[in-house]
Amino acid sequence: MEERKTKIRAFLSKSFRNRELQDDDDIFSLGFVNSLLALQLVNFLQKEFSITVEDEDLDFENFKSINNMNALLERKLGSAAVQG
Amino acid sequence: MGQLESAAPKADAATAGMKMELSDAQKESRLRFRDFVQQHISPFAGQWDREQRVPLEIVDALRARGYLGAVHPTRNDHGGPMDLITYGLLTEELARGCSSVRSLLTVHDMVSLGIWRWGSRDLKAQYGTATASAQLLCALALSEPEAGSDAASVSTMATLSGDEYLLTGTKKWITFGQIADLFLVLARCQNQVDQTGQLAAFLVPATSSGLTRTALTGIVGTRASLLAQLDLHECRIPKSHLVGRIGFGLTHVVATVLDHGRYSVAWGSVGIAQACLDACLDYTSQRKQFGRELRDHQLVQQKLTDMIASTRAARLLCYRAGYLRETQDPGATAETLLAKYFASRAAVNAANDAVHLHGANGLTEEYEVARYLRDAKVMEIIEGSTEIQQITIPKFSFSEL
């Protein structure tokens, strides 16, 4: 779980320069997320963790912090394991 | 490239450290595309430009060859989904002949892929196959009379009424809007108790009640791309035609669509630049001034050199973006943006120089370079203007090659 958070933090830190992101920081309220970064973030989560972000996953809560993204991954990877 | 590089590395490639070469299949595809364009598009592109209309026969020809929707994941004909490098070659070759025809490929593919990416299972079941095969042509309805670069300011409203959404507003500059069967419309939602004013994307069939379209003519470039204005007056669509979720219409649905559009426009720009170079190499080796061919004058050589270098550089950026897209690298969006930015400016510079090298002839319809200049200027504006990209690109972090 920590490894996942570390990877997410590393990805976000490229866009959030000079700011130490905490696991529960709301990245939207920090004002750095535009549509291109939002798209990159989805692509990163898909590629890095071998998931597919579906239309029903489009909820700002799922992407607003490192903790919430990790929770989304847990749900998706967990359900994938059950289905698999 | 693309498919090739994802294969197991060969020994020579490993020792060389890097391999940048098209596969044999990609080279063959490029020749096939070029032959098609030279036979069916290039000889007529000037006429279509003057008539401000590509004939429907060329749409049928693109569809029959599997070129429209070629990269759709569900394609199982014509050898399955085309890899994104081959798709780039197709786009370049089409643009080398006619940017209006290229724009049909761009707009149909960006929207059909967007529907597939973010549409619900039901929506994909209803429209997936028909849009992948281009039996239904798609167009993007984003811009409005008062909303261009500031896409988030669209004023088209969507109101939920029972099992339907009612859309009201005006959409402008809709490429191939005159003949498209489906529109992806960005609108602002009303009557959502906790989501007032949020943007959402909707799939609107052209046959929907309350939708009228009007042909737009007289545009400077890509004149044959059948532009339309859409007027929606309580246009009724099923509630199920919402694409993605409310609040994600711009940030994810339209962003996905434009991301593909920029890739296609980048390659299309390379096609224009290459067409300019082709025309100039021919013209400067035939025409004589001051007792010798134009190409023997040093200032002409300088312009040709700049054209060659910038066209090559633009194509390399497109290859790089294509490879990252093919491997689903998260950096692909940024690299695509960079490729579109550079290639569209390279196309304008090449076309500007091409007109100069042709002198007064370059200002006439007798030569193609005037059309190339008009079309190139469009490339700098669509899918994010040069100026918007100049304020966007520095915000990305780019990995080193």
Choose one of B246, B271, B306: the last residue of a domain.
B246
User: Could you tell me if B334 and B400 are in contact, meaning their C-beta atoms sit under 8 angstroms apart?
Assistant: no
Whether B229 is in a domain gets the answer: yes
- Segment B232-252 shows an average pLDDT of 95
> Which residues, 6+ apart, have CB-to-CB distance to B391 below 8 Å?
none
pLDDT given at position B386: 93
Whether A47 and B256 lie within 8 Å, measured CB to CB = no
**Site from A27, A35, A50 to mutate, B interface, most B CB atoms within 10 angstroms:** A35
Whether B360 is in a domain gets the answer: yes
Whether A40 and B334 lie within 8 Å, measured CB to CB = yes
Supply the CATH number for residue A45's domain. 1.10.1200.10
Q: What CA–CA distance (Å, rounded) separates B67 from B353?
A: 32
Average pLDDT, chain B: 93
Whether B118 and A55 lie within 8 Å, measured CB to CB = yes
Interface contact A23, partner B, CB < 8 A: no
Which residue in A has a C-alpha nearest to residue B252's C-alpha? A39
pLDDT given at position A81: 54
> What letter represents residue B17's amino acid?
G
Gyration radius of chain B's alpha carbons: 22
- Segment B87-112 shows an average pLDDT of 98
Instruction: Count structural domains, chain B.
Output: 3
Q: What pLDDT digit, counting tens, does each position of B115-142 carry?
A: 999 999 999 999 999 999 999 999 999 9
Q: What pLDDT digit, counting tens, does each position of B256-283 carry?
A: 999 999 999 999 999 999 999 999 999 9
Domain extent, residue A77, equals 2-83
Whether B118 and A58 lie within 8 Å, measured CB to CB = yes
pLDDT surpasses 50 at B6:
no
Interface contact A34, partner B, CB < 8 A: yes
ipTM (interface pTM): 0.85
Whether A39 and B333 lie within 8 Å, measured CB to CB = yes
Name the pLDDT band for B195 (thresholds 50, 70, 90).
Answer: very low
Catalytic residue among B146, B383, B387, B400: B383
Comparison of pLDDT for B79 and B371, the residue scoring more: B371
Do B144 and B280 fall within a single domain?
no
Which residue in A has a C-alpha nearest to residue B395's C-alpha? A15
Whether A55 and B250 lie within 8 Å, measured CB to CB = no
Do B44 and B26 fall within a single domain?
yes
Supply the CATH number for residue B65's domain. 1.10.540.10
Whether B47 is in a domain gets the answer: yes
> Which residues, 6+ apart, have CB-to-CB distance to B387 below 8 Å?
B149
Choose one of B102, B132, B162: the last residue of a domain.
B132
pLDDT given at position A19: 77
**Site from B123, B154, B189, B252 to mutate, A interface, most A CB atoms within 10 angstroms:** B252
pLDDT given at position B80: 83
- Segment B347-356 shows an average pLDDT of 98
Interface contact B393, partner A, CB < 8 A: no
Which residue in A has a C-alpha nearest to residue B244's C-alpha? A55
Token duo for residue B204 = 């609107």
pLDDT surpasses 70 at B401:
no
Which residue in A has a C-alpha nearest to residue B398's C-alpha? A14
Burial readout A17-27 (b: 16 or more C-beta within 10 A, e: otherwise): eeeebeeebeb
- Segment B292-317 shows an average pLDDT of 97
Supply the CATH number for residue B374's domain. 1.20.140.10
Residues from chain A that touch B250, judged by Cβ atoms under 8 A, are 35
If you count residue pairs, one on A and one on B, with CB atoms under 8 Å apart, how many are there?
Answer: 64
* Under-50 pLDDT residues of chain A: 82-84
Choose one of B222, B246, B270: the last residue of a domain.
B246
Handedness of CA B37, B42, B48, B52 (dihedral sign): positive
Q: Which of A35, A38, A43 sits opposite B328 (nearest CB)?
A: A43
pLDDT surpasses 50 at B380:
yes
Looking at CA atoms only, how far is residue A14 from chain B in angstroms?
Answer: 6
Supply the CATH number for residue B180's domain. 2.40.110.10
Instruction: Count structural domains, chain A.
Output: 1
Do B378 and B314 fall within a single domain?
yes
Name the pLDDT band for B15 (thresholds 50, 70, 90).
Answer: low
pLDDT given at position B196: 52
Comparison of pLDDT for B152 and B266, the residue scoring more: B266
Interface contact B29, partner A, CB < 8 A: no
For residue A34, the tally of other CB atoms under 10 A from its CB is 15
Whether B330 and A34 lie within 8 Å, measured CB to CB = no
Interface contact A50, partner B, CB < 8 A: no
pLDDT surpasses 60 at B221:
yes
Do B281 and B356 fall within a single domain?
yes
Whether A55 and B120 lie within 8 Å, measured CB to CB = yes
Name the pLDDT band for B3 (thresholds 50, 70, 90).
Answer: very low
Do B364 and B275 fall within a single domain?
yes
Do B158 and B121 fall within a single domain?
no
Whether A60 and B392 lie within 8 Å, measured CB to CB = no
- Segment B56-77 shows an average pLDDT of 95
Number of H helices, E strands in chain B: 13, 10
Residues 63-82 of A with CB under 8 A from B: none
Which among B272, B253, B385 is positioned nearest to B318, based on CA atoms? Answer: B272
Comparison of pLDDT for B76 and B202, the residue scoring more: B202
Q: What CA–CA distance (Å, rounded) separates B309 from A3?
A: 44
Q: Is B92 a catalytic residue?
A: no
Chain-centre distance of CA B47, in angstroms?
22
Interface contact B321, partner A, CB < 8 A: no
Looking at CA atoms only, how far is residue B37 from chain A in angstroms?
Answer: 34
Whether B400 is in a domain gets the answer: no
Gyration radius of chain A's alpha carbons: 12
Whether A55 and B328 lie within 8 Å, measured CB to CB = no
Name the pLDDT band for B194 (thresholds 50, 70, 90).
Answer: very low
pLDDT given at position B16: 62
Do B56 and B121 fall within a single domain?
yes
Domain extent, residue B202, equals 138-246
C-alpha count within 13 angstroms, C-beta hemisphere, residue A77: 13
User: Could you tell me if B229 and B170 are in contact, meaning their C-beta atoms sit under 8 angstroms apart?
Assistant: yes
pLDDT given at position A36: 81
Name the pLDDT band for B392 (thresholds 50, 70, 90).
Answer: confident
Which residue in A has a C-alpha nearest to residue B123's C-alpha? A55
